[in-house]
Amino acid sequence: MTNFNSPSSKSPKQNEKTMSDPIENQANNPYPLTIKKGILAIVAMYACQIIAGIAISYGFKFMDPNHEAEIEIIGLLSVLLSGIMVLLLLWWDVRRSGAPFYPQIGLQPSKINNSKAVLLVIAVLGTTHFLAWIYRSVILPMFDQGGIIGGGSQMFSYIQTNGGWLEMIGFLILAIIVGPLMEEVVFRGYLQSSLAKRIPSWVAILLTSLVFMVGHSPMILWPMYFMFSIAWGWIYLRTGSLKMAILIHILSNVFYTVIGFAGWDILA
């Protein structure tokens, strides 16, 4: 965490105490991360999705009033545009808040060795995807619910069948870059971090995962999304670095994208 005082003004022990005291750091930081700011990040994300959806829909109608655009294409462009809007808003907030704000949302190196952190990410990635496979391919068929795929997979399947290379590039940018960056900064960087300032970290992870879960569809796959979010939140907690949470989210989406191109059912 960044020391807010001049190195020459305090002894090393005093500096260490200041860096480890979140209450004193918050007092010295003009832009502390608060629960209000964490909730506002969530609200801003969904508000941008609504605004982008309206803008894209009316944009298609304006360009060609006699042609009804496919809902999947509108959805892809809307989510991509809203993701870019959210990232720009968060970039503006981080820049105006300054360097002392960075570690509050995990913009710092991993507190464990990078190689160990990456191995941890890979281990958690494999475990969660194995559990997801059990849920979807073993448990759901027992209740005659096999073959269900999520919104992302539905969009991928439609674009692969009916779209062109531009639509596929847009989907890949969304799935592998914009989506993971936006969701991890909002859910882990802002919401989970702000909650963890006031409540135990494991409760913050659970609450954040509930919010993450309800933002995905269909409902029958909620347990899977909840599990993913808990795993990513734990990675963030364990490493202290938002980069590792972003990494595991990107790898998860890459995994399902590869499976999609291979022609198998995907779950995301």
6 versus 133: the higher-pLDDT residue is: 133
pLDDT for the residue 153:
83
122 or 12: which leads in pLDDT: 122
Q: Which residue has the higher pLDDT, 23 or 205?
A: 205
Would you say residue 13 has pLDDT above 50? Answer: no
Question: pLDDT tens digit string along 99-113?
Answer: 999 999 999 999 999
- Mean pLDDT (the chain, rounded): 87
Quick one: 20 exposed, middle or buried, by C-beta within 10 A (0-12, 13-18, 19+)?
exposed
Per-residue pLDDT reduced to its tens digit, 27-52: 466 689 999 999 999 999 999 999 99
In this prediction, residue 259 carries a pLDDT of 86
Angle formed by the axes of helices 222-239 and 114-134, to 10°? 170
State pTM to two decimals: 0.86
Q: pLDDT of 250-264, one tens digit each?
A: 999 999 888 888 877
Domain locations in the chain as residue ranges: 31-262
CA distance from start to end of the chain: 35
User: How many angstroms separate the CA atoms of 39 and 197, rounded?
Assistant: 14
Residue with structure tokens 């963030």?
236
Please write the tens of the pLDDT for every residue from 165-212. 999 999 999 999 999 999 999 999 999 999 999 999 999 999 999 999
Decide if pLDDT at 267 tops 70.
no
**What are the tokens at 56?**
């894209």
Say if residue 231's pLDDT is above 50: yes
8 A C-beta contact, residue 205 and residue 234: yes
Nearest one of 204, 168, 167 to 187, comparing CA atoms: 204
